[in-house]
């Protein structure tokens, strides 16, 4: 009876109706750089508007561009919390708009959800070549072990929580080339940012710019800022501030 009640609940039918609506609408847009962006749910609509309409990350990409133009050699972009690939797609879009050498860059993307990682593969990997994109599926924060990972239909809120759905941590440092600098490190891991910063000080030292989403109620955000600044970065530039989270850009002082 309890299973039948859950199946017939109002929230269940609301979710079904919303999913059918998005499938019927199937909004998509082809950018001037020939990148096609398909949207399948409300969460992706929000991300699309943040990244491709409001262009929230343009100053971060400009910092990446500055490094690429001043650096003689290849560099990396790290996309930690890659979700369905919109940030990686926006990186490629920016490089095409600015006519940057795509051969000089490799993108390493990390996503905890196997479901979202599959969406990333379907949408993002075919649009590159170059730049080369590497996708790693697993949690970011610690170097080893596993943790419970909470997932939902509104997937931009997926995070480490509880004990169910155990997902293994990836050692980010061992997963990327050891000899290349990081032009831009983007970190959107829903509250695990403090753990990541404490675990990977050497990655910060290799990075030219750090774009980070900070969650006031899930970690010590003042400590996060302190750790980044101790690695030689100037105080952050505020990209977006909401009630309990912020998006901030750190560049070298």
Q: What is the pLDDT of residue 1?
A: 45
Q: How far apart are CA 230 and CA 226, in angstroms?
A: 6
Q: How far apart are CA 155 and CA 136, in angstroms?
A: 18
pLDDT digits (tens, 9 = 90+) for 28-82: 888 999 888 888 888 888 899 999 999 999 999 999 999 999 998 899 999 999 9
pLDDT digits (tens, 9 = 90+) for 136-171: 999 999 999 999 988 877 777 778 777 888 999 999
Residues 48-66: b if buried by 16+ CB within 10 A, e if exposed: bebbbeeebbeebbebbbe
217 compared with 223, residue with greater pLDDT: 223
Q: CA torsion 49→23→110→93, rounded to 10°?
A: -40
DSSP letters for the chain? -HHHHHHTSHHHHHHHHHHHHHHHH--EEE-TTS-EEE--SHHHHHHHIIIIIS-TTHHHHHHHHHHHHH-SS-EEEEEES-TTSHHHHHHHHHHHHTT--GGGEEEEEEES-HHHHHHHHHHHGGG-SSSEEEEEESB-SSSS-EEEEE--SSGGG-EE-SSSSEEEB--HHHHS-TTS-EEEEEE--TT-HHHHHHH-HHHHHHBSEEEEEEETTTS-HHHHHHHHHHTTBPSPEEEEE-SSEEEEEEEB-
Mean pLDDT of the chain: 88
Domain annotation for the chain: domains and CATH numbers:
55-251 (3.40.50.150)
Alpha carbon separation from 65 to 29, 57, 60, 70, 71 (Å, rounded) = 25, 12, 9, 9, 10
Q: How far apart are CA 79 and CA 185, in angstroms?
A: 7
27 compared with 14, residue with greater pLDDT: 27
Nearest to 56 by CA among 229, 241, 253, 245: 241
Asked if pLDDT for residue 11 goes beyond 70, the answer is: no
pLDDT digits (tens, 9 = 90+) for 105-139: 999 999 999 989 998 998 887 776 789 999 999 99
Tokens describing residue 103: 């051969």
* Alpha carbon 146 to its chain's center: 20
* Alpha carbon 120 to its chain's center: 11
Asked if pLDDT for residue 26 goes beyond 80, the answer is: no
């Amino acid at each position: 009876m309890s299973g039948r009640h859950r199946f017939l609940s109002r929230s269940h039918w609301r979710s079904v109706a919303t999913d059918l609506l998005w499938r019927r609408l199937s909004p998509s847009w082809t950018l001037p750089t020939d990148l096609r962006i398909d949207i399948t749910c409300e969460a992706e609509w929000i991300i699309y508007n943040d990244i491709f309409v409001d262009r929230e990350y343009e100053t971060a990409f400009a910092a990446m561009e500055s490094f690429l133009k001043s650096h003689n050699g290849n560099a990396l972009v790290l996309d930690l919390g890659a979700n369905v690939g919109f940030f990686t797609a926006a990186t490629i879009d920016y490089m095409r708009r600015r006519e940057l050498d795509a051969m000089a860059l490799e993108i390493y993307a990390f996503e905890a959800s196997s479901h979202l990682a599959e969406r990333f593969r379907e949408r993002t990997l075919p649009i590159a070549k170059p730049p080369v994109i590497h996708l790693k599926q697993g949690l970011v924060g610690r170097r080893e072990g596993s943790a419970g990972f909470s997932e939902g239909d509104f997937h931009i809120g997926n995070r480490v929580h509880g004990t169910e759905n155990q997902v293994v941590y990836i050692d980010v440092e061992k997963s990327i080339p050891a000899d290349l600098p990081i032009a831009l490190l983007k970190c959107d891991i829903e509250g695990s940012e403090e753990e990541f910063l404490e675990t990977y000080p050497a990655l910060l030292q290799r990075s030219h710019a750090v774009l980070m989403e900070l969650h006031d109620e899930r970690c010590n955000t003042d400590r996060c800022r302190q750790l980044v600044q101790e690695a030689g970065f100037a105080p952050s530039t505020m990209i977006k501030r909401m009630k309990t989270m912020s998006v901030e850009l750190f560049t070298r002082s």
